[in-house]
Amino acid sequence: MQHTLVMTGVSSGIGRVAAEQILRRSPHVHLLVVTRGSSGTRPAANLGAGGHAVSHVPADLGSLESVRAAAAGIRDRLDRGELPPLRGFVGNAGTQYANALTEGPDGFESTFTVNVLANHLFVRLLQDRLAPPARIVLTASDTHFGDFRHNLGMVPGPVWKSPDVLARTGAFPEPETTTAGRTAYSTSKLAVIHLVHEYARRLPAGIDAVAHNPGFVPGTGLARNAGPVARFAVRRILPVLALTPFATGRTTAGRHLADVVLGTTRAPNGSYVDRRRAARSAAESYDPGREAELWEAVERFTADRGRGRP
Non-local (6+) Cβ contacts of 210 within 8 A are 135, 136, 137, 138, 196, 260, 267, 269, 270, 271, 272, 273
**Is residue 42 predicted with pLDDT exceeding 60?**
yes
Higher pLDDT, 175 or 37: 175
- pLDDT attached to residue 304: 79
- pLDDT attached to residue 20: 96
Put simply, whether the predicted model's pTM sits higher than 0.95 gets the answer no
**Is residue 40 predicted with pLDDT exceeding 80?**
no
Residues 197-236 pLDDT 10s: 999 999 999 999 999 999 987 655 544 454 554 444 455 4
Contact 126, 6 (CB under 8 A): yes
DSSP-based three-state secondary structure for 64: helix
Residues 151-164 pLDDT 10s: 767 789 999 999 99
- pLDDT attached to residue 33: 97
Residues 236-262 pLDDT 10s: 444 544 544 556 888 999 999 999 999
Give the whole-angstrom CA distance, residue 171 versus residue 186.
Answer: 13
Residue 101 C-beta-side C-alpha neighbours within 13 Å: 9
Contact 109, 100 (CB under 8 A): yes
Contact 15, 93 (CB under 8 A): yes
Residues 52-106 pLDDT 10s: 999 999 999 999 999 999 999 999 999 999 999 999 999 999 999 999 999 999 9
- pLDDT attached to residue 41: 79
Q: Phi, psi (5° rounding) for residue 279?
A: -150, 175
User: Mean pLDDT in the chain?
Assistant: 90
Residues 258-276 pLDDT 10s: 999 999 999 999 999 999 9
Non-local (6+) Cβ contacts of 222 within 8 A are 94, 95, 96, 234
